[in-house]
Amino acid sequence: MRIATWNVNSITARLPRLLAWLESTGTDVLCIQETKCTAEQFPTEELRALGYESAVNATGRWNGVALVSRVGLTDVVTGLPGGPAYEDVEEPRAISATCGPVRVWSVYVPNGREVAHDHYAYKLRWLDALKLAVADDAAGERPFAVLGDYNIAPADEDVWDIAVFEGLTHVTEPERAALAGLREAGLTDVVPRPLKYDHPYTYWDYRQLRFPKNKGMRIDLVYGNKPFAEAVSDSYVDREERKGKGASDHAPVVVDLDV
C-alpha cells in the first residue's frame, strides 16, 4: 500500500501534474494540503475518473485539506475536534478517514508567521489540540498516521542553514516541543534521514533560486503509530516533482506499507 502527503499550493494550478503523478506512482492514498479552493471547486470528478474517492475540508482561497483514496474512504471526520479558532474562524486544516486497513489524517498546521504574532500562539494551541485528538488512534492496534505540512523542522539538520532561521518560526523550541508531544502520544517520524539525498528537504521557497541551490526545509512529515511504523517497507521524498514549470514549492513524501 502506498500513502503520500503533498502540499500542492493550489490544486487548481497543480491539477494536471497531480493527476499525472497519481497515475505514474500508483499511490493508493494521498493526503493533500493547501488546496486553495472551496469544496465545490475541488476536482472530485477528475479524481473519480482515475478511481479515487475524495473527502475535502476547504472553504475558499486559503488553506484547505483533502484525502483521496482508491482503497476505500470511510468514517470521515472533517476538522480538528476541539481545535481552536483563529480570529473567530475555524480554519480548514484537518481531515481524517479510514482507507482500507489504515486510518490517516491530512493536516496543514498553521504557519505561525512570526514568534510575536497571534498566529504563532494559535499554532501552538492547534498542535496541543491535535495531540489530544489523535491520542486514542495513536495508542490503538490499527495502523494510524498523521501526514501533512507541519510547518516545523524537527531538527537543525532539517533546514539548509540553521543560522538563517535564528529567532524565526518553524525551528523554535515550543514548536519542536509540540512535535515531542505527538511522540509522547505514541507517534514517530517514519521517514528517516538520510534518504536518497543527504538533506531530504520537502519545501523550497520559489524565491532566490532556493530549489536549484537546495536551500530547503523538511517540514512535510509522516508521524505514525507503532503498527504503522512497523509496516513501513520504504519511504522517499519525490524531489523530481518539485522540478519544472508549474511545480508546487513542496515535494510529495511517499511511504510504502506492507499491510
Domains in the chain: boundaries = 2-257
Q: Rounded CA gap, 259 and 254, in Å? A: 15
Question: CA torsion angle for 163, 168, 173, 177 (degrees, to 10)?
Answer: -120
Amino acid at 230: E
d(CA 84, CA 161): 32
Q: Quick check: bond before 194 cis, omega within 30?
A: yes
| pLDDT value for 36 | 97
pLDDT per position as a tens digit, 127-167 = 999 999 999 999 999 999 999 999 999 999 999 999 999 99
Mean pLDDT of the chain: 96
Question: Could you say which DSSP state residue 159 is in?
Answer: B
Is the pLDDT at 193 greater than 70, yes or no?
A: no
Are residues 106 and 95 in contact, defined by beta-carbon separation less than 8 angstroms? Answer: yes
Choose among 188, 186, 65: nearest CA to 132.
186
Domain 2-257: give its CATH superfamily: Endonuclease/exonuclease/phosphatase (3.60.10.10)
Yes or no: say if 180 and 108 are a contact pair by the CB < 8 Å rule: no
Q: How far apart are CA 81 and CA 187, in angstroms?
A: 18
Contacts of 227 (CB under 8 A, 6+ apart): 140, 141, 142, 143, 144
Segment 105-131, tens digit of pLDDT: 999 999 999 999 999 999 999 999 999
With bands split at pLDDT 50, 70 and 90, how would you rate the model's confidence at 197?
Answer: low
d(CA 174, CA 72): 37
What local confidence, expressed as pLDDT, does residue 112 receive? Answer: 97
pLDDT above 80 (res 249): yes
**Residue pLDDT, tens place only, 236-245:** 999 999 999 9
| Rounded Cα gap, residues 130 and 109, in angstroms | 9
Which residues are bridge partners to 256 per DSSP?
2, 234
Phi, psi values for residue 9, rounded to 5°: 50, 60
Give me the pLDDT at residue 130, please. Answer: 98
Confidence tier at 53 by pLDDT (50, 70, 90): very high
pLDDT tens by residue, 6-50: 999 999 999 999 999 999 999 999 999 999 999 999 999 999 999
Tell me the DSSP string of 37-49.
SBTTTS-HHHHHT
